[in-house]
């Protein structure tokens, strides 16, 4: 962040339809699996919530890294986003524990 990055003047190559369509495809597939799982007996399993969270985290990451170009753009943007997201997630977990919506050991 502190360096005067002259190279950043150059245009950053963003991906094209060839990659974007696969990103879109995987987003749909994961969503389909999420919804499908909802209608299976796996829904009652203890692993249901963690599995779903993992799948949506993947979707979240894919959109952020590919569609929002965080993978290709200047690292500064990554830091700005990570800071907001990090503090937000920590605060959320802290609140859920404080209100007893989450408990250690289930």
Partner 1 sequence: MATADTPAGHEGHHEHVHYTSTGLENRKIAIWALIGSECMLFASLISTYLIYKGRSKVGPFPHEWSCKTSNVVGKTAELVAGCAPADVLKPILDIPVTSQSTFVLLMSSLAMVLALAAVENKGHPLPAGAGWWDRCLASSKFWLMATAVMGATFIGYQSYEFTSFVHEGLTIKTNLFGSSFFTLTGFHGAHVSVGVLWLLTLFAIDVKRGLKGKNDVLLVDICALYWHFVDVVWIAIFTLIYLIQ
Partner 2 sequence: MATTAAPAPINTPAGTSYAPGEATGIWSWLTTVDHKRIGTLYLWTALTFFIVAGIEAFIIRLQLMKPNNQLVSAEMYNQLFTMHGTTMVFLVIMPLSAAFFNYLIPLQIGARDVAFPRLNAFSYWVYLFGGIFMTVPIFFNVAPNGGWFGYAPLTTMQFSGGLNIDFWVIGLQILGVSSLAAAFNFITTIINMRAPGMSLMRMPIFTWMSFVVQFLLILAFPAITIALFFLQFDRFFGTQFYEIAAGADPLLWQHLFWVFGHPEVYILILPAFGLASEILPTFSKKPLFGYNVMVYSGIMIGFLGFGVWAHHMFAVGMGATADTIFAMATLLIGIPTGVKIFNWVATMWGGNIRFTVAMKFAISLVALFTIGGISGVMHSSPPTDLQQTDTYFIVAHFHYVLFGGSIMGIMGGIYFYYPKIFGRYMSEKLGNWHFWSFFVGMNMTFFPMHYAGMLGMPRRIYTYDIGQGWEQFNLWSTVGALLQGVGLICFVYNFVKSRKRGEVAPNDAWGAGTLEWSIPSPPPDYNFAKIPYVTSRYPLWDIKQPEMTAELTHTAPDAGVIADAHAVPMHEETQYYTAKSLGIPMPFPTIKPFFAALFMVLMMAGLVFIHLDLFWVAIFVMIGSGAAFVGSLYGWLTSPLE
Give residues in contact with partner 2 (CB under 8 A). 1-4, 6, 76, 83-84, 87-88, 90-91, 94-95, 97-99
* 67: nearest Cα among 5, 26, 3, 15: 15
Least separation in angstroms between residue 74's CB and partner 2 is: 10
Which H helix or E strand runs over 7?
none
Are 27 and 56 a contacting pair, CB within 8 Å?
no
Q: What angle do CA 26, 28, 32 make, to 5 degrees?
A: 115
Contacting positions for partner 1 (CB under 8 A): 1, 4-9, 14, 16-17, 20-21, 23-24, 27-28, 31, 34-35, 38, 43, 48-49, 52-53, 55-56, 59-60, 63-64, 66-68, 74, 76-77, 80-81, 83-85, 87-89, 91-92, 95-96, 99, 101
């Amino acid at each position: 962040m502190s360096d005067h990055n002259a190279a950043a003047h150059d245009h950053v190559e963003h991906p094209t339809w060839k990659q974007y369509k696969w990103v879109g495809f995987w987003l749909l597939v994961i969503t389909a699996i999420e919804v499908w799982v909802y209608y299976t007996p796996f829904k009652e399993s203890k692993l249901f919530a963690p599995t779903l969270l993992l799948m949506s985290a993947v979707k979240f990451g894919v959109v952020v890294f590919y569609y929002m170009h965080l993978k290709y753009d200047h690292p500064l943007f990554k830091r700005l986003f990570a800071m907001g997201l990090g503090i937000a997630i920590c605060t959320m977990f802290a609140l859920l524990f404080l209100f007893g919506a989450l408990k250690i050991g289930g």
